[in-house]
Amino acid sequence: MARRDFDPASVTPDGRPAGMARLFDPAKDGPWRGSLPGQTFGSGVTVLAYGTDEIGVGPRLHVHPYDETFIVVEGRARFFVGDQTLEAGQGEVVFGPAGVPHRFENLGPGRLQTIDIHHSPEWIQTDLDQVDVPPS
C-alpha cells in the first residue's frame, strides 16, 4: 500500500543542499567509532557510531539535555535508562528521554555495535560517574 501522509505541495524546501560525510572508516579493523554533528548539514540531529569487543564495556553513566535513540546494529546490550534496565539485540531500538541518566554495556558474546542518534545539532553531555584521572 502506498503511503500519503502529507501533501508534498505543503512543504517548501529551505535551500539546504544534499550532503555527505563520513561517520566512521569501514576499512579500519575493529568496532566502528565516530560522530557527525548535525551542524555539518544544518540538521537538528547528531549521529554517533559506538562499538566495543569487550564484554561488560560501554559508555559511562551520563545525561543529555535532549532525547537520544540507540539502534543496536550488532550484538546485545544492557541499557540502564533512569530506573529501567532494558536488554536489546540486533535490530532493536532503545529510547532515552532528555534529562534521564543512562549508560549501556556489551552483553556479548562478541562485538556490540550501535548507532546513537542525538536529537540535537551538537553532542552535549555531562558524565555523572567520576573516574579518577591520575595527574599528568
Does residue 134 carry a pLDDT above 60?
A: no
What Cα–Cα distance (Å) separates residue 49 from each residue in 26, 35, 131? Answer: 11, 6, 23
Q: Which domains are assigned to the chain?
A: 30-125 (2.60.120.10)
Res 19: pLDDT: 95
pLDDT tens digits, 60-111: 999 999 999 999 999 999 999 999 999 999 999 999 999 999 999 999 999 9
Residue recorded with cell 540531529: 45
Q: How far is residue 10's CA from residue 114's CA, in Å, rounded to a whole number?
A: 35
| Upper half-sphere CA count for residue 67 (Cβ side, 13 Å) | 8
DSSP 69: E
Direct distance between the N- and C-terminal alpha carbons of the chain, in angstroms, rounded to an integer? 62
For 40, the 3-state DSSP assignment is helix
- Please check whether residue 65 is in contact with residue 46, taking contact to mean a CB–CB distance below 8 angstroms: no
Residue recorded with cell 569501514: 26
The structure's pTM equals: 0.89
Does residue 133 carry a pLDDT above 80?
A: no
% of the chain beyond a pLDDT of 70: 95
Identify the band that residue 129 occupies on the pLDDT scale cut at 50, 70 and 90: confident
